[in-house]
């Protein structure tokens, strides 16, 4: 199974189905990603709307 690491973009072409750090290529990349989340390195580009169900249409509050 092919894996493309979301942290470093390294490709692993023959990863077994039970590859431990999946979807990352290594435990180090997994920890780098966790650090980015904990240090608020990832941000949403716009506020999350509680009334948005993902369909593109706004829901009316109850």
What is the per-residue pLDDT for 45? 74
Domain that holds residue 7: 3-12+21-38
In a domain, 29, yes or no: yes
Domain containing residue 31: CATH number: 3.30.50.10
Instruction: Flag whether pLDDT at 8 surpasses 90.
Output: yes
Model pLDDT for residues 15-43, shown as the tens digit of each residue: 999 999 999 999 999 999 999 999 989 88
Burial 26-48 (b: 16+ CB within 10 A, else e): eeebbeebeeeeeeeeeeeeeee
Q: What is the pLDDT of residue 31?
A: 97
Residue 27: inside a domain, yes or no? yes
24 Cβ contact partners less than 8 Å away, ≥ 6 residues apart: 3, 5, 6, 7, 30, 33
Q: What is the pLDDT of residue 54?
A: 63
Is the CB of residue 49 less than 8 Å from the CB of residue 58?
yes
In a domain, 44, yes or no: no
Looking at the domain assignment, is residue 25 inside a domain? yes
**Residue 58 β-bridge partners:** 52
Q: Which of 28, 11, 21 is nearest to 1 (CA)?
A: 11
More confident residue, 47 or 14: 14
Query: How many domains would you assign to the chain?
Result: 1
The pTM (predicted TM-score) of the whole model is: 0.65
Identify the residue with better confidence: 2 or 46.
2
């Amino acid at each position: 199974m092919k894996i493309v690491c979301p942290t470093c973009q390294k490709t692993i072409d023959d990863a077994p189905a039970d590859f431990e750090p999946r979807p990352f290529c290594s435990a180090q990349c997994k920890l780098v990603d966790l650090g980015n989340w904990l240090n608020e390195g990832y941000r949403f580009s716009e506020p999350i709307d509680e009334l948005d169900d993902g369909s593109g249409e706004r829901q009316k509050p109850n």
